[in-house]
Chains A and B, each alone.
Chain A
């Protein structure tokens, strides 16, 4: 502590810390955010799958059957399960953030958060039920 000052006196020298490339691993909330952003890849994956499925369908029964067979391979099932988990995470976090982004006011009073989030969940369950019915009906 006895060395002379190494900069001009009365002239502050600020310490600036660089943000680490791995900043998103340092805090659980940051990691959760990064995972949420990554879920968009899963959404894109499902879009591509559906487009491929439609393309196969347009090429006739043979092409569609071989696409269906690919969907039944273990690798496709694992990919789909992972993508589905990410998409669920995406949906739930998105719905939970909805009240913050779109506060609804009724007669001057802000509705409680759950009243904004709940219709999203209800619509989600209802639409999913219709889709399930369309797929499994004989």
Chain B
């Protein structure tokens, strides 16, 4: 008899239920299986109506984020054997509206990502004939960590500030803004300052620090936000002492 483990999976079928319930499934416990493998097993063999998102199953696409035993995890990188003897509780990402079963609504996150203008902004675009904008390895190193984000939203599910205030721009979007602010090719940091330096921006963050702990890519959004608080404070002082200064 192969070993088995029980998965308690949150189900929400809006056409029949007003709030989520749990279904229990017994799945084979294999050493090389991650939680996502177990969900795929359930969908293929037990209940085809189970809904969840996944794509690459190798920690790159950022689709399969869910709450596993109450912690935000990429289910493709979370081994079942870690939760022996079970049961393993699988729920949709916390703080997001649930569309169905394990599928959450992410329009809000997408809008927030865009709101911080995460692209290279130039005051003067040099002609193509002059070639590319060069960057030293040190300059790349300055922002590289913040560019590793895969938009899996685990940090939002870890952030109580986002849970309590849906207007908070949130960890991933703020870290992404910092990724562009720190890019030597970018000249848009002054434009981004007004967006980031609002109450719903960096000042909403109380440095709980959980976003950094759950990040599967070691992006350190909490660090990015605190570093930016320092920058924004310096800019505010400069404006205060030199009101004539043009940004």
Residues on A close to B: CB < 8 A?
1, 3, 5-7, 9, 12-17, 19, 23-24, 27, 29-30, 33, 37, 97, 100-103, 105, 108-110
Q: How many A-B residue pairs have CB under 8 A?
A: 77
| Pair B138/A101 contact, Cβ less than 8 Å | no
Provided the pairs A6-B15, A24-B160 are in contact, do residues A102 and B227 lie with their beta carbons within 8 angstroms? yes
Provided the pairs A5-B16, A19-B160, A103-B223 are in contact, do residues A29 and B210 lie with their beta carbons within 8 angstroms? yes
| Pair A97/B207 contact, Cβ less than 8 Å | yes
Q: How far is the CA of A97 from the CA of B18 in the complex (A)?
A: 42
8 residue pairs from A and B, CB less than 8 Å apart:
A1-B16, A5-B16, A15-B12, A19-B160, A37-B206, A100-B220, A102-B227, A102-B230
Instruction: Write the nearest CB–CB distance from B170 to chain A, whole angstroms.
Output: 15
Asked whether B242 is an interface residue with its Cβ less than 8 Å from the other chain, the reply is no
Residues on B close to A: CB < 8 A?
12, 14-16, 18-20, 70, 95, 97-100, 105, 137-138, 141-142, 160, 163-164, 206-210, 212-213, 220, 222-223, 226-227, 229-230
The interface residues of chain A lying within 8 Å CB-to-CB of B14 are 7, 12-15
Instruction: Write the nearest CB–CB distance from B119 to chain A, whole angstroms.
Output: 24
Instruction: Write the nearest CB–CB distance from B242 to chain A, whole angstroms.
Output: 24
The answer, among A15, A19, A97, for a CB contact under 8 Å with B209, is A97
Q: For B20, give the chain A residue with the smallest CB separation.
A: A15
| Pair A30/B208 contact, Cβ less than 8 Å | yes
Q: How far is the CA of A16 from the CA of B100 in the complex (A)?
A: 11
The interface residues of chain A lying within 8 Å CB-to-CB of B100 are 12
| Pair A101/B230 contact, Cβ less than 8 Å | yes
Instruction: Write the nearest CB–CB distance from B215 to chain A, whole angstroms.
Output: 13
| Pair B208/A101 contact, Cβ less than 8 Å | no
Provided the pairs A1-B16, A3-B16 are in contact, do residues A19 and B95 lie with their beta carbons within 8 angstroms? yes
Q: How far is the CA of A103 from the CA of B220 in the complex (A)?
A: 12
